[in-house]
Amino acid sequence: MVATEEVLRRHGSSKATVVDVAKVLGVSHAALYRYFPSKAALREAVTRRWLGRVFDELAVADDSTLAPPERLRGWLVALYRAKRRSAVGEPELFETYRVIAEESPAATGEHVVALLRQLEGIVVAGVESGDFDADDPAVTARVVFEATQSFHHPAHVGEWGLPDRDELLDGVCALVVNGLRAR
């Protein structure tokens, strides 16, 4: 996976080949095909790995010792920062992942489902503690995820560097948390 990322970083998604990856590894391309039946399968595996890193980062950032409103805010901020860090830190690789992710709807779909499960867990905790009022935590999680899309969906990457983005996210988080508060 590391070798594939290196090749993608160097050549971009359209020009990177399995032969290039094999050269970096010092093996034949046939050896790679034993593990990945196609270039698409290799690219999907790399995308899953990248998305998994984002998911793992969020799992670590989700502090269950905090009250659910703070957990929710922290999770949304962590998601934004993880995506922004990837986009700003390695823009070529981020763009490559974005392109590959569009080609791998299964990988991105699984990622979104996993994120929604994390978010739903925070909503459930908020309902159980009396902090949130949500009839259906799964639907509520989906609505929160969709409402905050401009802070995590790769289509909005061009907005993430704007000077007021952090303040805007703070405002959106306050709006979401206040909207979920039990009355």
CB environment 161-174: b (16+ within 10 A), e (fewer): eeeebeeebeebbe
pLDDT per residue as tens digits for the range 61-79:
888 899 999 999 999 999 9
Residue 39: inside a domain, yes or no? no
pLDDT for the residue 135:
95
60 burial level (CB within 10 Å; 0-12, 13-18, 19+): exposed
Give yes or no for residue 42 having a pLDDT over 90: no
Residue 37: inside a domain, yes or no? no
pLDDT for the residue 139:
98
Q: Give the tokens for residue 90.
A: 């390695």
**Are the C-beta atoms of 148 and 176 separated by less than 8 Å?**
yes
Tell me the residue type at 97.
Answer: Y
Q: How far apart are CA 82 and CA 97, in angstroms?
A: 14
Residue 42: inside a domain, yes or no? no
Residue 165: inside a domain, yes or no? yes
pLDDT for the residue 41:
86
Beta-carbon count within 10 A of 109 CB: 10
Which residue has better confidence, 149 or 41? Answer: 149
CB < 8 Å & 24+ apart, contacts of 159-167: 160/80, 160/83, 160/84, 160/87, 160/88, 161/84, 161/88
What is the domain-level CATH number for residue 79? Answer: 1.10.357.10
Tell me the residue type at 132.
Answer: F
What is the count of structural domains for the chain?
1
Evaluate the CA torsion angle 58, 76, 120, 125 in order and state its sign: positive
Residue 77: inside a domain, yes or no? yes
Residue 154: inside a domain, yes or no? yes
Residues spanned by the domain of 73: 47-180
pLDDT for the residue 63:
87
Residue 71: inside a domain, yes or no? yes
User: Per 3-state DSSP, what percentage of the chain is helix, strand, and coil (rounded to 5)?
Assistant: 80, 0, 20
Residue 33: inside a domain, yes or no? no
